[in-house]
Amino acid sequence: MGTLELTGRYIRTNLHGAGYTVGILLRALVQLVFLPRKWRQTLDQMYVVGVQTLPVVLIVAIFTGMIVALQTGIELMRIGSSQSIASIVPISMCREMGPFITAIILAATVGSAMAAELGTMSVSEEILALEVMSVDPVRYLVLPRVVALAVMCPILTAFVDLVGTIGGGIVGQIHLGVDFQFYISQAVDSLRAPGHTIPLPKDFYVGLFKAFLFGITIAVIGCSSGLRAKGGALGVGQGVQRAVRNSVIMIIILGYVATWFFYFLGGS
């Protein structure tokens, strides 16, 4: 088999997969009218996404904030401006680090689990059985997962922003000589929107919007990868691998596009 043929087959397979994933997304959006009937399944998925992954997310968040504070603080100490971490860390967490950390963790845990669960159902012909019984797999299986991730990813991101910022303050207090109370005060000031008394900055809501997009992306890719699985256990494993890989790639691409749109086109 020639290189050209292999390349063409690879491109065709990936285009087919992308089209299938977009189709799943559109079908899920159409099925939103049936969401009230699926509230129990949606709450179950929200518990899996939010409560069960919260400890891992928070552990990663606090150490991420500490790393950001330590790395930037070391450089800022050389110019006598270590107190600037009180502005740098919260902005970094809200704008980029929080959404990306949350999304990548969810892709590796929840997204892979969705692909494995639906992939197992697919290879064991349970999906076919649902269709035979006139049960739409997208409405029954995909819709609750998409809604759960779309809701819980921004909520988890808000927790990550908060915990990461606190982690930066701990490092500032211990290693950089930045008083914790001063750090918190400056962090709140750096996030406060002009003319408002409560923290509602552009960095914060842009980060939550990114998390919303990431949540939908992870759910749709995870579900579509599982539904496409064929060939027994090997096919399920390949579906899980495909779900995590494609989710991470799309998270990075969407993150860049959102940042470009809000901060380049929309101004800083």
Q: Max Cα separation, the chain? A: 70
Determine the pLDDT at residue 200.
Answer: 58
Q: How far apart are CA 9 and CA 169, in angstroms?
A: 52
Q: Domains of the chain: which residue ranges?
A: 3-265
Residue 64, φ and ψ in degrees, nearest 5: -65, -45
Whole-angstrom CA distances from 37 to 32, 48, 201 are 10, 19, 36
Determine the pLDDT at residue 262.
Answer: 87
Task: Dig out the tokens for 110 from the structure.
Answer: 């929840």
User: Could you state, in chain order, the average pLDDT of each consecutive group of 10 residues for the chain (268 residues)?
Assistant: 74 82 90 81 91 93 94 88 89 92 96 95 91 89 94 96 94 90 88 59 88 97 93 89 95 94 73
Provide, rounded to the nearest whole percent, the portion of the chain with pLDDT above 70. 95
Task: Dig out the tokens for 233 from the structure.
Answer: 């256990």
Rg of the chain in Å (alpha carbons): 21
**CA 104 to chain CA centroid, nearest Å:** 6
Report helix, strand or coil for 124: coil
Neighbours of 204 (CB within 10 A): 21
**pLDDT, tens digit (0-9, with 9 covering 90-100), for 215-266:** 999 999 999 999 998 888 888 999 999 999 999 999 999 999 999 998 877 6
